[in-house]
Amino acid sequence: MAEMKRTHSGTEDVPSSPKQAKEGVADKRHIAALILARGGSKGIPLKNIKMLAGVPLIGWVLRAAVDSAVFDSVWVSTDHDEIEKVAKAWGAKVHRRSPEVSRDSSSSLEAIQEFVKLNPEVDVICNIQATSPCLHPFHVKEAVEMITLKGFDSVFSVARRHHFRWQEVKKGSGKMTKALNLDPAHRPRRQDWDGELCENGSFYFATRDIIENKRALQGGKVAYYEMLPEYSVDIDVDIDWPVAEQRVLRYGYFGRDKPEVVQIFLCNVSGCLTDGQIFMSLSGEEMVSVNTRDITGIRMLKKEGVEVVLLTTSEDSTTKTLFDKLALKIGCQVKQTRLELVGEVKKILKERGLDWRQVAYMGNDEPDVECLNLAGLSAVPRDAPVVAVNAAKYTCRNTGGKGAVREFTEHILLLKKKAMSQMEQDRIKRTSDF
d(CA 110, CA 113): 5
Question: Which helix (DSSP H) or strand (DSSP E) does residue 408 occupy?
Answer: helix 404-433
d(CA 406, CA 319): 19
Alpha carbon separation from 160 to 20, 131, 144, 198, 236 (Å, rounded): 31, 19, 21, 6, 20
Q: Per the residue annotation, which of 103, 165, 187, 250 is the catalytic one? A: 187
How many helices (H) and strands (E) are present in the chain, helices listed first?
13, 19
Please provide the DSSP assignment of 14-61 as one string. Answer: --SSHHHHTTT------EEEEEE--S--SSSTTGGGSEETTEEHHHHH
CA angle 66, 72, 75 (to 5 degrees): 60
Nearest to 225 by CA among 247, 210, 203: 203
d(CA 137, CA 203): 12
Q: Is 187 a catalytic residue?
A: yes
Secondary structure E strands in 217-319:
222-227, 264-268, 279-280, 286-287, 307-313
How much is the CA Rg of the chain, to the nearest whole Å? 25
User: Are the C-beta atoms of 360 and 308 separated by less than 8 Å?
Assistant: no
d(CA 65, CA 288): 43
User: Are the C-beta atoms of 150 and 4 separated by less than 8 Å?
Assistant: yes
Specify the DSSP class assigned to residue 231: G
Alpha carbon separation from 404 to 264, 334, 339, 341, 380 (Å, rounded): 18, 19, 22, 21, 8
**Which residues belong to the active site?**
187
